[in-house]
Protein backbone atom coordinates (compact mmCIF):
# COMPACT_ATOMS: atom_id res chain seq x y z
CA UNK A 1 0.00 0.00 0.00
CA UNK A 2 1.43 3.31 -1.04
CA UNK A 3 0.48 6.65 0.40
CA UNK A 4 -0.08 9.39 -2.08
CA UNK A 5 1.36 12.57 -0.67
CA UNK A 6 0.28 15.98 -1.85
CA UNK A 7 2.88 17.12 -4.36
CA UNK A 8 4.12 20.05 -2.25
CA UNK A 9 4.63 17.89 0.79
CA UNK A 10 6.40 15.26 -1.25
CA UNK A 11 8.79 17.86 -2.61
CA UNK A 12 9.63 19.16 0.86
CA UNK A 13 10.13 15.66 2.16
CA UNK A 14 12.49 14.90 -0.69
CA UNK A 15 14.36 18.11 -0.11
CA UNK A 16 15.02 17.37 3.54
CA UNK A 17 15.16 13.68 4.22
CA UNK A 18 18.36 11.85 3.43
CA UNK A 19 18.00 8.85 1.17
CA UNK A 20 17.56 5.60 3.10
CA UNK A 21 18.97 2.27 2.00
CA UNK A 22 16.72 -0.17 3.81
CA UNK A 23 17.04 -3.66 2.41
CA UNK A 24 19.50 -2.60 -0.28
CA UNK A 25 22.18 -5.15 -0.99
CA UNK A 26 25.73 -5.22 -2.22
CA UNK A 27 26.57 -8.21 -4.39
CA UNK A 28 30.00 -9.54 -5.21
CA UNK A 29 30.05 -11.50 -8.44
CA UNK A 30 32.98 -13.19 -10.09
CA UNK A 31 32.21 -13.71 -13.79
CA UNK A 32 34.17 -16.74 -15.00
CA UNK A 33 34.21 -15.76 -18.65
CA UNK A 34 33.05 -13.08 -21.08
CA UNK A 35 29.59 -14.62 -21.33
CA UNK A 36 29.10 -14.17 -17.61
CA UNK A 37 30.59 -10.68 -17.74
CA UNK A 38 28.01 -9.85 -20.40
CA UNK A 39 25.21 -11.15 -18.19
CA UNK A 40 26.22 -8.56 -15.57
CA UNK A 41 26.31 -5.84 -18.21
CA UNK A 42 22.85 -6.85 -19.40
CA UNK A 43 21.54 -6.76 -15.86
CA UNK A 44 23.01 -3.28 -15.51
CA UNK A 45 21.08 -2.15 -18.55
CA UNK A 46 17.72 -3.16 -17.13
CA UNK A 47 18.31 -2.54 -13.42
CA UNK A 48 19.77 0.33 -11.47
CA UNK A 49 23.07 -1.07 -10.34
CA UNK A 50 25.45 1.20 -8.49
CA UNK A 51 28.92 -0.14 -9.29
CA UNK A 52 31.31 -0.06 -6.34
CA UNK A 53 34.06 -1.98 -8.09
CA UNK A 54 34.86 -1.46 -10.90
CA UNK A 55 33.36 2.03 -10.87
CA UNK A 56 31.65 1.59 -14.20
CA UNK A 57 29.77 -1.29 -15.84
CA UNK A 58 31.91 -0.97 -19.00
CA UNK A 59 34.96 -2.26 -17.17
CA UNK A 60 33.33 -5.51 -16.09
CA UNK A 61 35.28 -8.42 -17.54
CA UNK A 62 36.05 -12.09 -16.99
CA UNK A 63 37.70 -13.01 -13.69
CA UNK A 64 37.17 -9.59 -12.17
CA UNK A 65 35.68 -9.25 -8.73
CA UNK A 66 32.61 -7.11 -9.31
CA UNK A 67 30.80 -5.34 -6.46
CA UNK A 68 27.55 -3.49 -6.98
CA UNK A 69 24.68 -2.11 -4.94
CA UNK A 70 21.07 -2.79 -5.80
CA UNK A 71 17.74 -1.71 -4.36
CA UNK A 72 15.68 -4.07 -2.23
CA UNK A 73 13.09 -4.24 -4.99
CA UNK A 74 15.52 -5.27 -7.70
CA UNK A 75 17.69 -7.54 -5.60
CA UNK A 76 15.33 -10.49 -6.09
CA UNK A 77 15.58 -10.18 -9.88
CA UNK A 78 19.33 -9.97 -9.71
CA UNK A 79 19.69 -12.91 -7.40
CA UNK A 80 17.43 -15.13 -9.53
CA UNK A 81 19.34 -14.18 -12.65
CA UNK A 82 22.65 -15.03 -11.01
CA UNK A 83 21.24 -18.32 -9.72
CA UNK A 84 19.74 -19.26 -13.06
CA UNK A 85 23.04 -18.70 -14.80
CA UNK A 86 24.89 -20.60 -12.05
CA UNK A 87 27.20 -17.69 -11.42
CA UNK A 88 29.59 -17.36 -8.50
CA UNK A 89 28.44 -14.65 -6.15
CA UNK A 90 28.09 -13.66 -2.56
CA UNK A 91 26.09 -10.99 -0.81
CA UNK A 92 28.57 -8.67 0.88
CA UNK A 93 25.97 -6.47 2.51
CA UNK A 94 22.42 -7.59 3.26
CA UNK A 95 20.97 -4.33 4.51
CA UNK A 96 22.89 -1.26 3.49
CA UNK A 97 20.99 1.05 5.84
CA UNK A 98 22.23 -0.98 8.78
CA UNK A 99 25.82 -0.61 7.61
CA UNK A 100 25.33 3.12 7.07
CA UNK A 101 24.34 3.42 10.71
CA UNK A 102 26.92 0.98 12.00
CA UNK A 103 29.84 2.88 10.52
CA UNK A 104 29.54 5.42 13.34
CA UNK A 105 31.06 3.09 15.89
CA UNK A 106 33.96 5.33 16.94
CA UNK A 107 34.40 6.29 20.56
CA UNK A 108 32.33 9.32 21.49
CA UNK A 109 34.54 12.07 22.79
CA UNK A 110 32.62 14.28 25.19
CA UNK A 111 35.15 17.09 25.07
CA UNK A 112 35.05 19.29 22.01
CA UNK A 113 38.40 18.01 20.90
CA UNK A 114 38.51 17.01 17.26
CA UNK A 115 38.53 13.23 17.25
CA UNK A 116 40.69 11.57 14.63
CA UNK A 117 38.75 8.36 15.01
CA UNK A 118 35.42 9.76 13.85
CA UNK A 119 34.11 10.90 10.49
CA UNK A 120 33.52 14.62 10.32
CA UNK A 121 31.14 16.67 8.26
CA UNK A 122 32.31 19.65 6.24
CA UNK A 123 31.57 22.23 8.92
CA UNK A 124 33.65 20.32 11.44
CA UNK A 125 36.47 19.98 8.95
CA UNK A 126 36.49 23.72 8.28
CA UNK A 127 36.63 24.39 12.04
CA UNK A 128 39.44 21.87 12.26
CA UNK A 129 41.49 23.66 9.57
CA UNK A 130 41.25 26.86 11.61
CA UNK A 131 42.27 25.05 14.74
CA UNK A 132 45.33 23.53 13.10
CA UNK A 133 46.48 26.96 11.96
CA UNK A 134 45.88 28.57 15.34
CA UNK A 135 47.69 25.81 17.16
CA UNK A 136 50.82 25.77 15.02
CA UNK A 137 50.93 29.07 13.12
CA UNK A 138 54.67 28.70 12.58
CA UNK A 139 54.09 25.46 10.79
CA UNK A 140 50.60 25.39 9.30
CA UNK A 141 48.90 27.86 7.03
CA UNK A 142 45.59 27.70 5.22
CA UNK A 143 45.37 28.68 1.59
CA UNK A 144 42.06 29.16 -0.17
CA UNK A 145 42.74 27.87 -3.67
CA UNK A 146 39.28 28.52 -5.05
CA UNK A 147 35.67 27.72 -4.45
CA UNK A 148 33.25 25.05 -5.53
CA UNK A 149 30.23 25.23 -7.80
CA UNK A 150 28.08 25.76 -4.71
CA UNK A 151 30.47 28.41 -3.48
CA UNK A 152 32.13 26.51 -0.68
CA UNK A 153 35.80 27.29 -0.10
CA UNK A 154 38.53 24.91 -1.22
CA UNK A 155 41.22 24.91 1.45
CA UNK A 156 44.73 23.58 1.22
CA UNK A 157 46.78 23.31 4.39
CA UNK A 158 50.44 24.00 3.92
CA UNK A 159 52.64 22.27 6.42
CA UNK A 160 56.23 23.32 6.74
CA UNK A 161 58.27 26.48 6.62
CA UNK A 162 57.29 29.67 4.92
CA UNK A 163 59.79 29.12 2.14
CA UNK A 164 57.73 28.47 -0.99
CA UNK A 165 60.68 27.31 -3.03
CA UNK A 166 61.39 24.23 -0.95
CA UNK A 167 60.55 20.87 -2.42
CA UNK A 168 57.03 19.84 -1.63
CA UNK A 169 54.48 17.09 -1.89
CA UNK A 170 50.86 17.72 -2.85
CA UNK A 171 48.23 15.42 -1.39
CA UNK A 172 44.48 15.41 -1.89
CA UNK A 173 41.64 13.50 -0.29
CA UNK A 174 37.96 13.16 -0.98
CA UNK A 175 37.77 13.59 -4.74
CA UNK A 176 34.97 11.01 -4.64
CA UNK A 177 32.39 12.03 -2.09
CA UNK A 178 31.44 8.68 -0.60
CA UNK A 179 34.99 7.54 0.14
CA UNK A 180 34.93 8.96 3.65
CA UNK A 181 38.05 7.31 5.00
CA UNK A 182 40.06 9.40 2.56
CA UNK A 183 39.41 12.83 4.14
CA UNK A 184 39.86 11.13 7.52
CA UNK A 185 43.37 10.22 6.44
CA UNK A 186 44.23 13.76 5.35
CA UNK A 187 43.16 15.03 8.76
CA UNK A 188 45.20 12.36 10.44
CA UNK A 189 48.25 13.20 8.34
CA UNK A 190 48.19 16.90 9.19
CA UNK A 191 47.72 16.20 12.88
CA UNK A 192 50.42 13.55 13.10
CA UNK A 193 52.90 15.46 11.00
CA UNK A 194 52.66 18.58 13.15
CA UNK A 195 52.49 16.66 16.41
CA UNK A 196 55.49 14.49 15.72
CA UNK A 197 57.71 17.28 14.42
CA UNK A 198 60.67 17.48 16.79
CA UNK A 199 59.86 14.05 18.23
CA UNK A 200 59.80 11.61 15.35
CA UNK A 201 63.13 11.54 13.55
CA UNK A 202 61.82 10.97 10.05
CA UNK A 203 59.01 13.49 10.27
CA UNK A 204 61.35 16.10 11.70
CA UNK A 205 63.81 15.56 8.89
CA UNK A 206 61.06 15.71 6.29
CA UNK A 207 59.55 18.92 7.62
CA UNK A 208 62.96 20.51 8.06
CA UNK A 209 63.55 20.08 4.36
CA UNK A 210 60.22 20.12 2.59
CA UNK A 211 56.61 21.27 2.64
CA UNK A 212 53.37 19.37 2.31
CA UNK A 213 50.26 20.77 0.68
CA UNK A 214 47.19 18.91 1.88
CA UNK A 215 43.73 19.34 0.38
CA UNK A 216 41.58 17.49 2.93
CA UNK A 217 38.38 17.53 0.87
CA UNK A 218 38.60 18.00 -2.89
CA UNK A 219 34.94 17.47 -3.77
CA UNK A 220 33.41 19.59 -1.03
CA UNK A 221 29.90 19.89 -2.49
CA UNK A 222 29.71 16.16 -3.10
CA UNK A 223 31.02 15.47 0.39
CA UNK A 224 28.36 17.68 1.96
CA UNK A 225 25.74 15.92 -0.15
CA UNK A 226 26.98 12.53 1.04
CA UNK A 227 26.42 13.68 4.64
CA UNK A 228 23.09 15.42 4.27
CA UNK A 229 21.27 13.79 1.38
CA UNK A 230 22.80 10.65 -0.07
CA UNK A 231 25.59 8.66 1.58
CA UNK A 232 26.32 6.93 -1.72
CA UNK A 233 27.03 10.12 -3.69
CA UNK A 234 30.26 10.07 -5.72
CA UNK A 235 30.34 12.94 -8.22
CA UNK A 236 30.30 16.66 -7.64
CA UNK A 237 27.00 18.53 -7.63
CA UNK A 238 27.20 20.54 -10.82
CA UNK A 239 24.15 20.77 -13.02
CA UNK A 240 24.58 19.39 -16.52
CA UNK A 241 23.04 21.08 -19.52
CA UNK A 242 20.30 19.21 -21.32
CA UNK A 243 20.28 16.44 -18.75
CA UNK A 244 18.36 15.73 -15.59
CA UNK A 245 21.44 14.04 -14.18
CA UNK A 246 23.65 15.91 -11.76
CA UNK A 247 27.36 15.89 -11.26
CA UNK A 248 30.70 15.22 -12.84
CA UNK A 249 33.26 12.65 -11.79
CA UNK A 250 36.12 14.96 -10.89
CA UNK A 251 38.56 12.13 -11.38
CA UNK A 252 37.62 11.93 -15.07
CA UNK A 253 37.66 15.68 -15.54
CA UNK A 254 41.44 16.16 -15.76
CA UNK A 255 43.16 16.93 -19.03
CA UNK A 256 44.79 13.55 -19.55
CA UNK A 257 43.43 11.74 -22.59
CA UNK A 258 40.17 13.29 -21.37
CA UNK A 259 37.96 12.39 -24.33
CA UNK A 260 39.27 8.91 -25.08
CA UNK A 261 36.55 6.91 -23.31
CA UNK A 262 33.13 7.31 -24.94
CA UNK A 263 31.38 5.81 -21.92
CA UNK A 264 32.40 8.79 -19.76
CA UNK A 265 30.46 11.21 -21.95
CA UNK A 266 27.03 10.46 -20.52
CA UNK A 267 26.02 12.84 -17.69
CA UNK A 268 23.98 10.08 -16.10
CA UNK A 269 27.01 7.85 -15.61
CA UNK A 270 28.84 7.86 -12.29
CA UNK A 271 32.03 8.38 -14.29
CA UNK A 272 30.80 11.36 -16.34
CA UNK A 273 33.85 13.38 -17.40
CA UNK A 274 32.21 16.81 -17.63
CA UNK A 275 31.66 18.88 -20.76
CA UNK A 276 35.32 19.79 -21.14
CA UNK A 277 38.62 19.09 -19.38
CA UNK A 278 38.81 21.13 -16.18
CA UNK A 279 35.21 22.24 -16.69
CA UNK A 280 34.63 21.85 -12.96
CA UNK A 281 35.57 24.69 -10.69
CA UNK A 282 37.15 22.24 -8.24
CA UNK A 283 39.38 20.65 -10.87
CA UNK A 284 40.35 24.06 -12.19
CA UNK A 285 41.28 25.34 -8.73
CA UNK A 286 43.50 22.34 -8.06
CA UNK A 287 45.17 22.31 -11.47
CA UNK A 288 45.83 26.06 -11.29
CA UNK A 289 47.37 25.66 -7.87
CA UNK A 290 49.58 22.77 -8.92
CA UNK A 291 50.67 24.52 -12.12
CA UNK A 292 51.51 27.58 -10.05
CA UNK A 293 53.72 25.55 -7.71
CA UNK A 294 55.06 23.13 -10.27
CA UNK A 295 58.70 24.01 -9.67
CA UNK A 296 58.53 22.88 -6.07
CA UNK A 297 56.06 19.98 -6.22
CA UNK A 298 58.02 16.74 -6.52
CA UNK A 299 55.25 14.26 -5.76
CA UNK A 300 51.48 14.09 -6.05
CA UNK A 301 49.52 11.64 -3.92
CA UNK A 302 45.76 11.17 -4.10
CA UNK A 303 43.66 9.11 -1.70
CA UNK A 304 40.64 7.00 -2.60
CA UNK A 305 38.92 3.95 -1.23
CA UNK A 306 38.38 1.03 -1.40
CA UNK A 307 40.39 -2.05 -2.48
CA UNK A 308 43.86 -1.76 -0.91
CA UNK A 309 46.02 -0.79 -3.82
CA UNK A 310 48.82 1.62 -4.55
CA UNK A 311 48.62 2.80 -8.14
CA UNK A 312 50.85 4.81 -10.43
CA UNK A 313 50.58 5.91 -14.12
CA UNK A 314 49.24 5.27 -16.58
CA UNK A 315 45.51 4.84 -16.52
CA UNK A 316 44.81 5.96 -20.07
CA UNK A 317 47.38 3.81 -21.86
CA UNK A 318 49.14 0.50 -21.40
CA UNK A 319 52.37 2.33 -22.18
CA UNK A 320 54.58 2.42 -19.11
CA UNK A 321 55.96 5.70 -17.79
CA UNK A 322 59.68 6.23 -18.47
CA UNK A 323 60.48 5.79 -14.76
CA UNK A 324 58.17 2.88 -14.08
CA UNK A 325 60.94 0.84 -12.49
CA UNK A 326 61.47 3.60 -9.99
CA UNK A 327 57.76 3.94 -9.33
CA UNK A 328 57.37 0.19 -8.88
CA UNK A 329 60.31 0.12 -6.48
CA UNK A 330 58.87 2.93 -4.37
CA UNK A 331 55.43 1.29 -4.42
CA UNK A 332 56.90 -1.98 -3.23
CA UNK A 333 58.81 -0.35 -0.37
CA UNK A 334 55.76 1.68 0.52
CA UNK A 335 53.30 -1.21 0.59
CA UNK A 336 55.84 -3.37 2.45
CA UNK A 337 56.08 -0.68 5.12
CA UNK A 338 52.30 -0.44 5.24
CA UNK A 339 51.94 -4.14 5.93
CA UNK A 340 54.35 -4.17 8.86
CA UNK A 341 51.82 -2.72 11.25
CA UNK A 342 48.71 -4.91 10.86
CA UNK A 343 49.71 -7.18 7.99
CA UNK A 344 47.33 -5.39 5.66
CA UNK A 345 48.12 -6.47 2.12
CA UNK A 346 48.14 -4.02 -0.75
CA UNK A 347 48.82 -4.75 -4.37
CA UNK A 348 50.54 -2.16 -6.55
CA UNK A 349 51.13 -1.33 -10.19
CA UNK A 350 50.14 0.94 -13.07
CA UNK A 351 46.42 1.81 -13.08
CA UNK A 352 45.65 0.24 -16.44
CA UNK A 353 47.08 -3.22 -15.74
CA UNK A 354 46.21 -3.27 -12.03
CA UNK A 355 42.59 -2.14 -12.25
CA UNK A 356 41.46 -1.07 -15.71
CA UNK A 357 41.74 1.71 -18.20
CA UNK A 358 40.71 5.17 -16.96
CA UNK A 359 40.93 8.50 -18.69
CA UNK A 360 41.00 12.00 -17.26
CA UNK A 361 42.46 11.01 -13.89
CA UNK A 362 44.33 13.43 -11.66
CA UNK A 363 47.22 11.00 -11.34
CA UNK A 364 47.97 10.80 -15.07
CA UNK A 365 47.46 14.52 -15.46
CA UNK A 366 49.95 15.37 -12.72
CA UNK A 367 52.47 12.93 -14.15
CA UNK A 368 52.21 14.31 -17.68
CA UNK A 369 52.54 17.81 -16.30
CA UNK A 370 56.00 16.83 -15.12
CA UNK A 371 55.56 15.61 -11.55
CA UNK A 372 57.52 12.41 -11.82
CA UNK A 373 56.26 10.70 -8.72
CA UNK A 374 52.50 10.36 -8.64
CA UNK A 375 50.58 7.77 -6.65
CA UNK A 376 46.99 6.91 -5.86
CA UNK A 377 46.06 5.00 -2.75
CA UNK A 378 42.92 2.90 -2.64
CA UNK A 379 42.58 2.56 1.12
CA UNK A 380 40.82 -0.13 3.17
CA UNK A 381 39.03 -2.40 2.87
CA UNK A 382 38.63 -5.09 0.22
CA UNK A 383 34.86 -5.01 0.18
CA UNK A 384 33.48 -6.26 3.47
CA UNK A 385 32.33 -2.74 4.27
CA UNK A 386 33.40 -1.03 1.06
CA UNK A 387 32.63 2.69 1.28
CA UNK A 388 31.07 2.19 4.71
CA UNK A 389 34.28 1.43 6.57
CA UNK A 390 33.43 1.69 10.29
CA UNK A 391 35.01 4.45 12.32
CA UNK A 392 36.76 1.86 14.45
CA UNK A 393 38.97 1.19 11.42
CA UNK A 394 39.99 4.81 10.85
CA UNK A 395 42.90 4.65 13.26
CA UNK A 396 44.51 1.43 12.01
CA UNK A 397 43.92 2.52 8.40
CA UNK A 398 45.60 5.87 9.01
CA UNK A 399 48.47 4.43 11.03
CA UNK A 400 49.48 1.95 8.36
CA UNK A 401 48.94 4.46 5.54
CA UNK A 402 51.15 6.96 7.34
CA UNK A 403 54.01 4.44 7.18
CA UNK A 404 53.51 4.08 3.44
CA UNK A 405 53.37 7.82 2.82
CA UNK A 406 56.53 8.40 4.83
CA UNK A 407 58.39 5.95 2.62
CA UNK A 408 57.36 7.91 -0.46
CA UNK A 409 58.27 11.21 1.16
CA UNK A 410 61.65 9.90 2.31
CA UNK A 411 62.39 8.74 -1.19
CA UNK A 412 61.53 12.16 -2.60
CA UNK A 413 63.71 13.83 -0.01
CA UNK A 414 66.66 11.63 -0.87
CA UNK A 415 66.32 11.52 -4.63
CA UNK A 416 65.19 14.94 -5.78
CA UNK A 417 67.07 18.16 -5.63
Size of site (CB under 6 A) for ligand NAG: 20
Rounded CA-CA distance 402/277 in Å is 32
Measured from the CB of residue 61, what is the shortest distance to ligand NAG in angstroms? 7
Phi, psi dihedral angles at 144 (to 5 degrees): -85, 110
Q: Minimum CB separation from ligand NAG for residue 248, in Å?
A: 3
Query: In this chain, which stretch among 123-131, 145-153, 200-208, 375-383 interacts with ligand NAG, using CB under 6 A?
Result: 145-153
Rg (CA), the chain: 21
Instruction: Return the number of the residue (221 or 381) whose C-beta is nearest ligand NAG.
Output: 221
Our CB check for ligand NAG shows the closer of 248 and 307 to be 248
Which of the choices Zn ion, ligand NAG, none does residue 238 contact, using the CB cut-off of 5 to 8 A by kind?
A: ligand NAG
Kindly state the number of chain residues that form the binding site for Zn ion, as judged by CB under 5 A: 2
Nearer to ligand NAG, 250 or 351 (CB): 250
* Nearest-5° Cα angle at 403, 155 to 290: 30
Q: How far is the CB of 393 from Zn ion (least distance, A)?
A: 17
Is the sign of the CA dihedral 263, 265, 269, 272 positive or negative? positive
Q: Which of 358, 343, 404, 410 is nearest to 185 (CA)?
A: 404
- Tell me if the bond preceding 314 is cis, omega within 30° of 0: yes
Decide: 239 and 246 in contact? Cβ < 8 Å.
yes
Interface with ligand NAG includes 248 (CB under 6 A)? yes
Contact region with ligand NAG (CB under 6 A), list: 132-140, 202-210, 245-253, 307-315: 245-253
Distances (CA, A) of 305 to 55, 311, 382: 11, 12, 9
**Does residue 14 interact with ligand NAG by CB under 6 A?**
no
Whether the CB-CB separation of 128 and 194 falls below 8 Å is answered with no
From 237, 304, 373, 380, residue interacting with Zn ion (rule: CB under 5 A) = 304
Contact positions with ligand NAG (CB under 6 A) in 252-291 = 253, 255, 274, 277-282
Contact 48, 349 (CB under 8 A): no
For residues 228 and 149, what is the distance between their CA atoms, to the nearest angstrom? 17
| Nearer residue to ligand NAG within complex by CB, 189 or 365 | 365
Residues annotated as catalytic are 378
List residues binding ligand NAG (CB under 6 A): 62-63, 148-150, 221, 236-238, 247-248, 253, 255, 274, 277-282
Amino acid sequence: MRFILPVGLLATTLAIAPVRFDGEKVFRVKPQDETEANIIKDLARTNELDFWYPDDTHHVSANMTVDFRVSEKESQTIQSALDQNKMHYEILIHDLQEEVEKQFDGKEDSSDRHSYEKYHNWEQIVAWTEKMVNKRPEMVSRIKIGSTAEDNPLYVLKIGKEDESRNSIFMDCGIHAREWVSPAFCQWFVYQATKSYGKNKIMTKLLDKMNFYVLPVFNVDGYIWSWTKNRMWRKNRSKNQNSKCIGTDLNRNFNASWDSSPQTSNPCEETYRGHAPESEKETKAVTDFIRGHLKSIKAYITFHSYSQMLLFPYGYTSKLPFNHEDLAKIAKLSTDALSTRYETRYIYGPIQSTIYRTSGSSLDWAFDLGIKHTFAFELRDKGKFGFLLPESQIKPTCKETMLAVKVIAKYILKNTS
